Chains A and B, each alone.
Chain A
């Protein structure tokens, strides 16, 4: 199904992965477990023989979600809820839902109440990351999710199952990293939209199969004319709709680094392949970059962005703000100030899931790009 995709096909699948997941599920007779952002250990779900699918909203109209979550709720949360309530709910056998903020905490309750006949488990990630108790709790939670999945499915997993799952997931991340490296140096080799489609699809389909495609895609990438590109860093949580990448591509912005959950923060989640697999998964939890909802220091986020900016020799930072994401909104004024004080050019993109028209984004981005050309290029 996903083992021989061209890059064009991968982009199409990433846009709407659900028809292919439906077909795959029937062909393979496998269970599908949905999750939302962030940090659910998908290797655990995979080790049980289920397909972990990260739900990343829908561009179809909102019908039912607004009666559960008001219009000032994070648009990603509303979009995810809509996807399962109106469009794809029947596809999933169950869900493991992380709680990372007030909205996701309520969302997992609403989800459980909405699907009384399905398996719905919460993944209670720690919202502090700088003390020994956080590590203790991550390990407890991973063990609890394993036990919960086992109780629900009647299956048991052993270390070997986890290691096999970890290997496949690590391989996926390594391939994505290699493709990203190619793009950084040869922006014409693949577009921003193509790169981030591969990142997205990797979190939604069977990785053992997709890895085959990624290898072929990687080998097929060819250097093109790299002149005229402007290197930028993307900062934030997600970037949606994917047509935003088209806008970047139109003006030849080349994303050479990012902190997104649908980008580098996912790739950072490589699990050390030694010792006990649960310990290894626990260690991995703390190796990812800054994530606004978890208590951490915005100075760290700033340092991360600054380092990335310098290492990649980028020309500007584009911050992707999701409408009504509280955690981003508390961080953003100080982060903007710090970046500005460093003399780094920064543009904020206000995005909203379900957005149909990108004309406002296009106008602002073009204006920013013009100023960029007039400035540092």
Chain B
């Protein structure tokens, strides 16, 4: 990877090469493994299985405002309109071929980890049924509080990772290479540290990045972790953002950066840039969310790779108790000096959204900061009410202004 490329160029190059390899996987004797975004994909990488994330493909289509069209198709197939918009748009893509990208290659096997959500398991089951393909569910019980219970949960997860290795060996008829896994873990650990460093640059005032930069920047961590190029990419990205910090360049000029906001949930993908502009007009920048931090792992390379993988994947925010989520978010409030919060009730992501009302109660109580709560869908425009949401945003900033006075 050339040092001369910008992070944006690197991202494009990495993505193009990755997808090209994926589309020609079978010619090279490789298999395609569909994976959930929060899964111990390091085992796939170490075993030369190309991971493909149907969620990422869905995001591309939903961001390009294809959600309503695709979701309508899937309803005619008998699926209800309140299922995950990623799943709905994907199932519709399978039927119609409609996509704003080149599509994604067909799977040979599936890995579903419920640390992210249980809906992905059900979605993958639907896909697997069509081709009678194997599905491995990495079951991560909620990371409930209590040291002893957590130790037991990790043990159960390690047992399953061993089963996963056996599953991969059986499917590929190849022996798993533990030395290769150690190497992959080294890359994952390094890139995770750099990714977190990138996210944490939102601590600066003015913040050089917004959550929208983080959402773009996280893509490589999602689908290329465990590789040298992923490490190189985040090193470049961090260098670029540091240069902005050194020059005092913020998303908004320092004097205009009035509100530093927390965002709860996934983004409304089809309103991505609109939201950035709208909020900017009020002197506000959304800095971070627990969601973007889901890929800032802390792998301990001194531990057995399977143990550190289990510890990290089971403890993601999406698999933590609401109390732990509140602690994680509170930590972000302090670290990033945030003074506002937007809580998005995402109709089609129940795994994240059902915690939101309780989380909002805890966070507003702890921080004394009022919250803006709105309901919509991350990908299906039919559930987005432009006027209502704009009015709420206006009212929210009026409240914040009043409080500041």
A106 in complex: contacting residue of B77, B80, B137, B322, CB < 8 Å: B322
Closest to B114 in A: A127
Pair B144/A122 contact, Cβ less than 8 Å: yes
Q: Does B323 contact A (CB under 8 A)?
A: yes
Contacts of B118 in A (CB 8 A): 101-102, 105, 127, 293, 326-327
Q: Does B139 contact A (CB under 8 A)?
A: yes
Closest to B351 in A: A102
Pair A133/B163 contact, Cβ less than 8 Å: yes
Pair A127/B139 contact, Cβ less than 8 Å: yes
Instruction: Mark contacts of B342-364 with chain A using CB atoms, 8 A cut-off: 1 yes-contact digit, 0 otherwise.
Output: 00010100110111011000000
Pair B129/A299 contact, Cβ less than 8 Å: yes
Q: Does B304 contact A (CB under 8 A)?
A: no
Cα of A73 to Cα of B356 in the assembled complex, Å: 13
Q: Does B79 contact A (CB under 8 A)?
A: yes
Q: Does B204 contact A (CB under 8 A)?
A: no
Q: Does B375 contact A (CB under 8 A)?
A: yes
Pair B83/A326 contact, Cβ less than 8 Å: yes
Contacts of A375 in B (CB 8 A): none
State the majority secondary structure of interface residues on A: helix
Pair B121/A295 contact, Cβ less than 8 Å: yes
B156 in complex: contacting residue of A106, A112, A133, A327, CB < 8 Å: A133
Within 8 A of B (CB), among A324-355: 324, 326-327, 329-334, 336
Nearest CB in chain B: distance from A377 CB, A = 28
In the complex where A113-B323, A133-B159, A133-B160 touch, is A105 in contact with B121 (Cβ < 8 A)?
no
Nearest CB in chain B: distance from A258 CB, A = 22
Stretch at the interface among A63-71, A165-173, A365-373: A63-71
Contacts of B119 in A (CB 8 A): 102, 326, 330
Within 8 A of A (CB), among B58-89: 77-80, 82-83, 87
Q: Does A250 contact B (CB under 8 A)?
A: no
Closest to A325 in B: B80
Q: Does B55 contact A (CB under 8 A)?
A: no
Cα of A110 to Cα of B357 in the assembled complex, Å: 10
Closest to A68 in B: B357
Pair A106/B159 contact, Cβ less than 8 Å: no
Pair A327/B354 contact, Cβ less than 8 Å: no
Interface size class of B (residues with CB under 8 A): 35 or more
Pair B142/A124 contact, Cβ less than 8 Å: yes
Nearest CB in chain A: distance from B35 CB, A = 15
In the complex where A133-B163, A136-B156, A330-B83 touch, is A68 in contact with B126 (Cβ < 8 A)?
no
Q: Does B268 contact A (CB under 8 A)?
A: no
Q: Does B172 contact A (CB under 8 A)?
A: no
Q: Does B149 contact A (CB under 8 A)?
A: yes
Contacts of B355 in A (CB 8 A): 106, 109
Cα of A122 to Cα of B119 in the assembled complex, Å: 20
Q: Does B170 contact A (CB under 8 A)?
A: no
Pair A68/B358 contact, Cβ less than 8 Å: yes
Interface size class of A (residues with CB under 8 A): 35 or more
Q: Does B249 contact A (CB under 8 A)?
A: no
Instruction: Mark contacts of B106-137 with chain A using CB atoms, 8 A cut-off: 1 yes-contact digit, 0 otherwise.
Output: 00000010100111011101100100000101
Closest to B355 in A: A106
Contacts of A126 in B (CB 8 A): 139, 141, 156
A69 in complex: contacting residue of B82, B123, B126, B354, CB < 8 Å: B354
Cα of A103 to Cα of B357 in the assembled complex, Å: 14
Q: Does B27 contact A (CB under 8 A)?
A: no
Q: Does A137 contact B (CB under 8 A)?
A: yes
Instruction: Mark contacts of B135-175 with chain A using CB atoms, 8 A cut-off: 1 yes-contact digit, 0 otherwise.
Output: 10101011010000100110010011001000000000000
In the complex where A113-B322, A124-B141 touch, is A72 in contact with B77 (Cβ < 8 A)?
no
Q: Does A132 contact B (CB under 8 A)?
A: yes
Contacts of A124 in B (CB 8 A): 141-142, 144, 153
Nearest CB in chain B: distance from A75 CB, A = 12
In the complex where A99-B142, A329-B80, A331-B122 touch, is A295 in contact with B358 (Cβ < 8 A)?
no
Q: Does B308 contact A (CB under 8 A)?
A: no
Contacts of A73 in B (CB 8 A): 350, 354
With most chain B CB atoms within 10 A of its CB, the pick from A106, A107, A127 is A106
In the complex where A99-B142, A109-B321, A330-B122 touch, is A140 in contact with B152 (Cβ < 8 A)?
yes
Cα of A72 to Cα of B87 in the assembled complex, Å: 17
In the complex where A70-B354, A333-B79 touch, is A137 in contact with B122 (Cβ < 8 A)?
no
Contacts of A329 in B (CB 8 A): 79-80, 83
With most chain A CB atoms within 10 A of its CB, the pick from B87, B322, B350 is B350
Nearest CB in chain A: distance from B378 CB, A = 13
Closest to A109 in B: B322
Contacts of A177 in B (CB 8 A): none
9 new A-B contacts, CB < 8 A, other than A99-B142, A105-B142, A298-B125, are A103-B354, A109-B142, A122-B144, A131-B160, A133-B159, A137-B139, A144-B149, A295-B112, A327-B118
The 3 A-B pairs of least Cβ separation, nearest first, read A333-B78, A330-B122, A124-B141
Q: Which residues of A contact B (CB under 8 A)?
A: 67-70, 72-73, 99, 101-103, 105-110, 112-113, 122, 124, 126-128, 131-134, 136-137, 140, 144, 293, 295, 297-299, 324, 326-327, 329-334, 336
19 contacts between A and B (CB under 8 A): A68-B357, A68-B358, A73-B354, A101-B118, A102-B117, A102-B118, A102-B350, A103-B350, A109-B322, A109-B323, A122-B144, A127-B121, A127-B139, A131-B160, A134-B139, A137-B156, A144-B149, A298-B125, A334-B126
